[in-house]
Structure 1
Amino acid sequence: MTISKAPPAFPRDEYLRRLTLVKSEMARRDVEALVVSDQHNITYLTGYTARSAYVPQALVVLATEEEPVFILRRMDAPAAMHQCFMERDKIIAYPEELIAHPDKDGYDAII
Protein backbone atom coordinates (compact mmCIF):
# COMPACT_ATOMS: atom_id res chain seq x y z
CA MET A 1 0.00 0.00 0.00
CA THR A 2 1.40 3.37 -1.00
CA ILE A 3 0.93 6.15 1.51
CA SER A 4 0.87 9.62 0.03
CA LYS A 5 2.25 12.71 1.73
CA ALA A 6 -0.24 15.22 3.07
CA PRO A 7 0.24 18.87 2.20
CA PRO A 8 2.57 20.08 4.96
CA ALA A 9 1.47 22.74 7.42
CA PHE A 10 4.83 24.43 6.78
CA PRO A 11 7.45 24.04 4.06
CA ARG A 12 10.27 21.55 4.62
CA ASP A 13 12.69 24.45 5.12
CA GLU A 14 10.70 25.60 8.17
CA TYR A 15 11.01 22.21 9.87
CA LEU A 16 14.73 22.15 9.06
CA ARG A 17 15.07 25.67 10.51
CA ARG A 18 13.42 24.52 13.74
CA LEU A 19 15.73 21.51 13.91
CA THR A 20 18.73 23.74 13.29
CA LEU A 21 17.79 25.78 16.35
CA VAL A 22 17.49 22.61 18.43
CA LYS A 23 20.83 21.35 17.13
CA SER A 24 22.47 24.68 17.93
CA GLU A 25 21.36 24.32 21.53
CA MET A 26 22.48 20.69 21.51
CA ALA A 27 25.95 21.78 20.33
CA ARG A 28 26.10 24.47 23.00
CA ARG A 29 25.43 21.80 25.63
CA ASP A 30 27.69 19.20 23.96
CA VAL A 31 24.75 16.84 23.27
CA GLU A 32 25.07 14.47 20.31
CA ALA A 33 21.59 12.91 20.48
CA LEU A 34 18.33 14.22 21.86
CA VAL A 35 15.23 12.09 22.51
CA VAL A 36 12.01 14.09 22.29
CA SER A 37 8.94 12.36 23.72
CA ASP A 38 6.50 15.23 24.26
CA GLN A 39 3.74 15.08 21.65
CA HIS A 40 3.62 18.85 21.18
CA ASN A 41 7.36 19.10 20.57
CA ILE A 42 7.18 16.19 18.11
CA THR A 43 4.44 18.03 16.24
CA TYR A 44 6.48 21.25 16.20
CA LEU A 45 9.54 19.49 14.82
CA THR A 46 7.88 17.11 12.32
CA GLY A 47 4.30 18.08 11.51
CA TYR A 48 2.89 14.89 13.07
CA THR A 49 -0.49 15.64 14.65
CA ALA A 50 -2.09 12.23 15.23
CA ARG A 51 -3.15 11.52 18.80
CA SER A 52 -0.90 8.57 19.55
CA ALA A 53 1.01 9.75 22.62
CA TYR A 54 -0.90 7.31 24.82
CA VAL A 55 1.77 4.75 23.84
CA PRO A 56 5.55 5.28 23.83
CA GLN A 57 6.89 7.27 20.90
CA ALA A 58 9.96 9.42 20.44
CA LEU A 59 11.74 11.63 17.99
CA VAL A 60 15.51 11.15 17.99
CA VAL A 61 17.44 14.22 16.86
CA LEU A 62 21.06 13.49 15.99
CA ALA A 63 23.51 16.35 15.71
CA THR A 64 25.04 14.81 12.57
CA GLU A 65 21.83 14.03 10.65
CA GLU A 66 19.65 16.49 8.73
CA GLU A 67 16.39 14.70 9.56
CA PRO A 68 15.37 13.18 12.89
CA VAL A 69 14.21 9.60 13.35
CA PHE A 70 10.67 9.03 14.59
CA ILE A 71 10.04 5.77 16.47
CA LEU A 72 6.43 4.88 17.13
CA ARG A 73 3.84 2.13 17.25
CA ARG A 74 3.43 0.18 14.01
CA MET A 75 -0.27 1.02 13.62
CA ASP A 76 0.57 4.75 13.87
CA ALA A 77 3.40 4.69 11.33
CA PRO A 78 1.17 5.23 8.26
CA ALA A 79 -0.13 8.48 9.77
CA ALA A 80 3.44 9.59 10.45
CA MET A 81 4.47 8.76 6.88
CA HIS A 82 1.52 10.79 5.65
CA GLN A 83 2.06 13.82 7.91
CA CYS A 84 5.77 14.14 8.68
CA PHE A 85 8.13 16.13 6.48
CA MET A 86 10.86 13.46 6.79
CA GLU A 87 11.66 10.67 4.38
CA ARG A 88 9.91 7.36 5.09
CA ASP A 89 13.11 5.61 6.15
CA LYS A 90 13.27 8.03 9.10
CA ILE A 91 9.98 6.66 10.46
CA ILE A 92 10.53 3.43 12.37
CA ALA A 93 7.62 1.33 13.59
CA TYR A 94 7.98 -0.94 16.58
CA PRO A 95 5.96 -4.16 16.77
CA GLU A 96 2.42 -4.28 18.11
CA GLU A 97 3.50 -7.10 20.44
CA LEU A 98 5.08 -4.45 22.67
CA ILE A 99 1.66 -2.97 23.46
CA ALA A 100 0.35 -4.34 26.78
CA HIS A 101 3.32 -6.71 27.01
CA PRO A 102 3.95 -7.71 30.63
CA ASP A 103 7.73 -7.22 30.49
CA LYS A 104 8.50 -4.81 27.62
CA ASP A 105 6.96 -1.81 25.92
CA GLY A 106 7.66 0.70 23.17
CA TYR A 107 10.39 2.36 25.21
CA ASP A 108 12.42 -0.83 24.82
CA ALA A 109 12.29 -0.29 21.05
CA ILE A 110 13.14 3.40 21.41
CA ILE A 111 16.11 2.70 23.65
Structure 2
Amino acid sequence: MGSKKTVSRYTTKSEQGTHSFEIVGYRLLTKSIDVGKFIRSGTFAVGGYDWAIRFYPNGDVLNETCRDYVSVYLELLSKNREAHASYDLRLVNQLTGLPQSVLSQVVEV
Protein backbone atom coordinates (compact mmCIF):
# COMPACT_ATOMS: atom_id res chain seq x y z
CA MET A 1 0.00 0.00 0.00
CA GLY A 2 1.18 3.52 -0.83
CA SER A 3 1.06 6.51 1.46
CA LYS A 4 -1.64 9.11 0.98
CA LYS A 5 -1.05 12.81 1.08
CA THR A 6 -3.82 15.33 1.76
CA VAL A 7 -3.81 19.11 1.67
CA SER A 8 -6.43 21.64 2.68
CA ARG A 9 -6.55 25.40 2.61
CA TYR A 10 -8.77 28.11 4.01
CA THR A 11 -8.55 31.56 2.49
CA THR A 12 -10.14 34.56 4.12
CA LYS A 13 -11.97 36.92 1.84
CA SER A 14 -11.48 40.63 2.11
CA GLU A 15 -12.89 43.42 0.07
CA GLN A 16 -12.29 47.14 -0.03
CA GLY A 17 -14.68 49.93 -0.83
CA THR A 18 -14.99 53.68 -0.59
CA HIS A 19 -18.09 55.64 0.30
CA SER A 20 -18.27 59.43 0.20
CA PHE A 21 -20.90 61.04 2.41
CA GLU A 22 -21.27 64.72 1.57
CA ILE A 23 -23.17 66.90 4.00
CA VAL A 24 -24.47 69.99 2.24
CA GLY A 25 -25.37 72.88 4.54
CA TYR A 26 -23.25 71.65 7.43
CA ARG A 27 -23.40 74.88 9.44
CA LEU A 28 -27.19 74.95 9.31
CA LEU A 29 -27.30 71.26 10.29
CA THR A 30 -25.23 71.83 13.42
CA LYS A 31 -27.62 74.58 14.50
CA SER A 32 -30.80 72.63 13.75
CA ILE A 33 -30.09 69.17 15.17
CA ASP A 34 -29.89 68.32 18.87
CA VAL A 35 -27.20 66.46 20.76
CA GLY A 36 -27.82 62.72 20.41
CA LYS A 37 -29.55 63.03 17.03
CA PHE A 38 -27.92 61.76 13.86
CA ILE A 39 -28.17 61.73 10.11
CA ARG A 40 -27.47 58.56 8.15
CA SER A 41 -25.73 58.14 4.82
CA GLY A 42 -27.25 56.15 2.03
CA THR A 43 -26.79 52.39 2.24
CA PHE A 44 -23.69 51.04 0.53
CA ALA A 45 -22.45 47.47 0.06
CA VAL A 46 -18.94 46.17 0.68
CA GLY A 47 -17.99 42.51 1.05
CA GLY A 48 -21.56 41.31 0.67
CA TYR A 49 -22.72 43.39 3.65
CA ASP A 50 -24.86 46.52 3.76
CA TRP A 51 -23.38 49.46 5.66
CA ALA A 52 -24.17 53.08 6.51
CA ILE A 53 -22.45 55.97 8.24
CA ARG A 54 -24.17 57.55 11.23
CA PHE A 55 -23.09 61.14 11.79
CA TYR A 56 -23.91 63.02 14.98
CA PRO A 57 -23.01 66.69 14.30
CA ASN A 58 -23.39 67.62 17.99
CA GLY A 59 -22.23 64.41 19.68
CA ASP A 60 -23.90 61.08 20.34
CA VAL A 61 -24.57 61.44 24.06
CA LEU A 62 -27.40 63.47 25.52
CA ASN A 63 -24.93 65.64 27.36
CA GLU A 64 -24.21 69.30 26.73
CA THR A 65 -20.45 68.72 27.09
CA CYS A 66 -20.56 66.89 23.71
CA ARG A 67 -21.93 69.90 21.83
CA ASP A 68 -18.47 70.94 20.58
CA TYR A 69 -17.67 67.49 19.14
CA VAL A 70 -18.94 65.28 16.34
CA SER A 71 -19.41 61.51 16.53
CA VAL A 72 -19.29 59.17 13.55
CA TYR A 73 -20.07 55.44 13.41
CA LEU A 74 -19.83 52.75 10.77
CA GLU A 75 -23.13 50.87 11.04
CA LEU A 76 -23.65 47.28 9.85
CA LEU A 77 -27.18 47.17 8.41
CA SER A 78 -27.21 43.50 7.33
CA LYS A 79 -29.40 41.65 9.83
CA ASN A 80 -28.12 38.68 11.86
CA ARG A 81 -24.61 39.06 10.45
CA GLU A 82 -21.19 39.59 11.97
CA ALA A 83 -18.24 41.16 10.21
CA HIS A 84 -14.73 42.41 10.83
CA ALA A 85 -14.16 45.83 9.37
CA SER A 86 -11.37 48.32 9.20
CA TYR A 87 -12.06 51.86 8.15
CA ASP A 88 -10.33 55.13 7.62
CA LEU A 89 -12.50 58.18 8.25
CA ARG A 90 -11.43 61.29 6.38
CA LEU A 91 -12.85 64.77 6.45
CA VAL A 92 -12.32 67.11 3.52
CA ASN A 93 -10.81 70.49 4.24
CA GLN A 94 -13.21 72.95 2.57
CA LEU A 95 -10.42 75.45 1.86
CA THR A 96 -7.97 73.05 0.18
CA GLY A 97 -10.33 70.29 -1.00
CA LEU A 98 -7.90 67.72 0.41
CA PRO A 99 -8.95 64.85 2.67
CA GLN A 100 -7.38 64.46 6.09
CA SER A 101 -7.54 61.18 8.01
CA VAL A 102 -9.14 61.70 11.43
CA LEU A 103 -9.76 58.10 12.54
CA SER A 104 -8.50 54.72 11.42
CA GLN A 105 -9.78 51.67 13.27
CA VAL A 106 -10.39 47.91 13.09
CA VAL A 107 -13.67 46.74 14.65
CA GLU A 108 -15.85 43.66 14.93
CA VAL A 109 -19.49 44.45 14.29
- Greater Cα radius of gyration, structure 1 or 2: 2
Q: TM-score range by the shorter chain?
A: 0.3 to 0.5
Choose between structure 1 and 2: higher helix proportion. Answer: 1
Q: Which protein, 1 or 2, shows the higher relative CO under an 8 Å CA cutoff with sep ≥ 6?
A: 1
TM-score by length of 1: 0.34
TM-score by length of 2: 0.34
